[in-house]
């Protein structure tokens, strides 16, 4: 086996030093009745090239093996990834290192994550951000727990019905055992969270609003901040499309206390939904409440700048049962990828890419409208929107995937049973006018 270096001679001489007569006798401390009798019933090992064929055969069962046209988003977005990003992130010094517990030989990871923290706080307009979380849903669950723990009187949190359906489920999974509850805020006919409904909900520790919301619509965050202030509760903002903040006013400018987001759009492949990149940011007051790692700047014994993991006293390996969370490994390599992406696009690129996403989505919506699709809402959106489709659309959509590898929207009915024949469409900078024209022609 090419990963195992030991020759028979090595084994023999090492056993001698170890004081064991055979490899099997190394396990004599395990009582016989605890050892398995069956061995491992697994497929015979594959050579590297047999593995290639096997994996390519599996990959070819996914439609993604073809160069498909993606008009779906809903939490996972098809953006262009410049060639140098996968090239750089594959450098084994980044990829095969562990968590930077020994800072003197981890300055690459540490400076990289410090720069990541800087760029994410700039993107979101927030004071601080952690070194990453698993995904937006888990980050939002942690943010909800922070709000609930802070407010000792209320054991409920208000969450917009237009927060990604999976994220609402994750919050539920996280908070249920400790007796907390979610109150869902309904949405209005404009496809935004119902502010007046929120105003009527009492005894809550916080409110979570996604913007752009699951329908792609931009929420009036300023009004929700005011409502949260009136109730003296935490205001949490979430998002699934990080590039929106290349164009939109950021959550910090509306006074968000906590922000939970998904950073997959920042140079990370869709990879069937994971690993993505959980972003978790807060204002200064939340510094000691946010879970997970931070990188901080400091000096070495010669007075030279350097970086270390810091504020670890909040974390599980020090605080154990009193830690702010159980998180240990986060999504560090994807945070580094996002940093590379943000450094690549820069101030000019992020604005232009965001604008192009919006332009393409507006063109797509207008084209669908001309083809007889009915827009569901009139609210401003970023790169996703909802339309009501004509009868027979579903069959056309399936045929279009099978014949031309074009994905025309996501059916909303499984998530919102009241929205029959409503589809969520997305357009990114990757689709051309011709792609859009072709898709619309096929489905009309």
Residues 195-214 that bind other proteins (CB under 8 A): none
Which residues, other chains included, contact 58 with Cβ-Cβ below 8 Å and sequence gap of 6+? Answer: none
- In this structure, the number of other CB atoms found within 10 A of the CB of residue 90 comes to 10
Residues 6 or more apart in contact with residue 166 via CB below 8 angstroms: 75, 137
| Residue among 109 and 213 whose Cβ is closer to other proteins | 109
Part in contact with other proteins (CB under 8 A); list of ranges 150-158, 229-237, 287-295, 368-376: 287-295
Q: Which of 21, 53, 59, 190 binds other proteins (CB under 8 A)?
A: 59
Residue of the chain from 183, 380, 390, 404 that contacts other proteins (CB under 8 A): 380
- 54 forms part of the interface with other proteins (CB under 8 A): yes
Sign for the pseudo-dihedral over CA of 29, 30, 32, 37:
negative
Query: Which among 188-196, 354-362, 369-377, 387-395 is the span making contact with other proteins, rule CB under 8 A?
Result: 354-362
Q: Does residue 43 bind other proteins (CB under 8 A)? A: yes
- Within 234-263, the residues that bind other proteins by CB under 8 A are 245-250, 253, 262
Q: Which of residues 393-432 bind other proteins (CB under 8 A)?
A: 401, 407, 410, 429, 432
Rounded CA separation 221/284 (Å):
20
Q: Which residues of 292-322 are buried (b: 16+ CB within 10 A; e: fewer)?
A: bbbbeeeeeeeeeeebbbeeeebbbeeeeee
- Based on the shown chain and the rule CB under 8 A, indicate whether residue 8 belongs to the binding site for other proteins: no
> Could you count the other beta carbons within 10 Å of the beta carbon of residue 114?
19
Q: How many residues bind other proteins (CB under 8 A)?
A: 201
Site for other proteins in 142-201 (CB under 8 A): 164, 166-167, 169-170, 172-174, 176-179
Residue 265, interface with other proteins (CB under 8 A)? no
Closest to other proteins by CB, 75 or 206: 75
Q: What's the DSSP call for residue 91? A: -
Burial of 17 (0-12, 13-18, 19+ CB in 10 A): exposed
Residue 406: which H helix or E strand, with range? strand 406-407
Per CB under 8 A, does 218 bind other proteins? yes
Nearer to other proteins, 203 or 437 (CB): 437
Alpha helices in 151-212 (DSSP H): 165-175, 195-199
Stretch that binds other proteins, among 147-155, 190-198, 323-331, 383-391 (CB under 8 A): 323-331
SS3 46: coil
* Max Cα–Cα distance, the chain, nearest Å: 81
Report which of 257, 277, 258 is spatially closest to residue 267, judged by C-alpha positions.
Answer: 277
Q: Does 342 bind other proteins (CB under 8 A)?
A: yes
**Distance of closest approach, residue 420 Cβ to other proteins, in angstroms:** 18
**Rounded to the nearest 5 degrees, what angle is found at the Cα of 178, between the Cα atoms of 172 and 182?**
35
User: What gap in Å lies between CA 77 and CA 201, rounded to an integer?
Assistant: 34
Confirm or reject binding of residue 359 to other proteins (CB under 8 A): yes
Nearest CB to other proteins, comparing residues 32 and 153: 32
Give CA torsion, residues 242, 424, 71, 441, to 10 deg: -150
* Beta carbon of residue 190, minimum distance to other proteins (angstroms, whole number): 14
In the complex, least distance from residue 200 CB atom to other proteins, rounded to whole angstroms: 27
In whole angstroms, how close is the CB of 418 to other proteins at the nearest point?
19
Q: Taking CB under 8 A as the rule, which mask of x and - marks residues 75-94 in contact with other proteins?
A: xx-x-x-x-x-xxx-xxxxx
In whole angstroms, how close is the CB of 150 to other proteins at the nearest point?
Answer: 16
């Amino acid at each position: 086996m090419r990963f195992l270096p030991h020759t028979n001679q090595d084994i023999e001489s090492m056993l001698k030093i170890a004081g064991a007569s055979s490899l099997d006798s190394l396990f004599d401390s395990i009582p016989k009745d605890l050892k398995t009798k069956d061995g491992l019933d697994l497929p015979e090992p594959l050579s590297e090239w047999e593995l290639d064929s096997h994996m390519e055969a599996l990959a070819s069962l996914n439609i993604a093996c073809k160069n498909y046209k993606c008009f779906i988003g809903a939490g996972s977005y098809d953006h262009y990834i410049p060639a140098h990003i996968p090239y750089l992130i594959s450098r084994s010094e980044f990829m095969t290192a562990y968590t930077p517990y020994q800072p003197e030989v981890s300055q690459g990871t540490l400076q990289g994550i410090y720069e990541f923290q800087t760029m994410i706080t700039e993107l979101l307009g927030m004071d601080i951000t952690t070194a990453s979380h698993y995904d937006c849903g888990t980050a939002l669950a942690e943010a909800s727990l922070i709000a609930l723990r802070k407010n000792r009187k209320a054991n409920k949190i208000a969450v917009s019905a237009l927060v990604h359906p999976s994220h609402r489920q994750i919050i539920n999974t996280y908070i249920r055992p400790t007796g907390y509850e979610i109150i869902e805020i309904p949405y209005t006919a404009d496809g935004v969270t119902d502010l007046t409904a929120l105003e009527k909900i009492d005894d809550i520790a916080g409110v979570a609003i996604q913007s752009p919301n699951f329908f792609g619509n931009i929420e009036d965050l300023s009004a929700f901040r005011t409502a949260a202030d009136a109730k003296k509760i935490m205001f949490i903002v979430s998002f699934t499309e990080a590039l929106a903040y290349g164009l939109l006013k950021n959550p910090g400018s509306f006074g968000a206390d906590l922000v939970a987001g998904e950073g997959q759009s920042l140079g990370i492949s869709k990879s069937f939904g994971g690993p993505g990149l959980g972003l978790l940011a807060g204002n200064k007051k939340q510094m000691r409440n946010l879970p997970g790692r931070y990188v901080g700047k400091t000096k070495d014994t010669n007075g030279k700048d350097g970086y270390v993991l810091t504020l670890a006293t909040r974390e599980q390996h020090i605080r154990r049962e009193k830690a702010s969370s159980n998180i240990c490994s986060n999504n560090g390599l994807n945070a580094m990828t996002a940093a590379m992406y943000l450094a690549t696009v820069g101030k000019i690129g992020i604005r232009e890419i965001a604008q192009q996403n919006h332009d393409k989505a507006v063109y797509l919506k207008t084209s669908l409208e001309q083809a007889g699709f009915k827009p569901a809402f009139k609210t401003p959106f970023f790169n996703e929107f909802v339309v009501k489709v004509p009868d027979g659309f579903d069959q056309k959509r399936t045929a279009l995937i099978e014949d031309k590898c074009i994905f025309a929207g996501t059916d909303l009915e499984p998530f919102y049973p009241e929205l029959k024949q409503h589809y969520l469409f997305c357009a990114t900078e990757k689709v051309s006018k011709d792609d859009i024209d072709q898709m619309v022609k096929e489905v009309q």
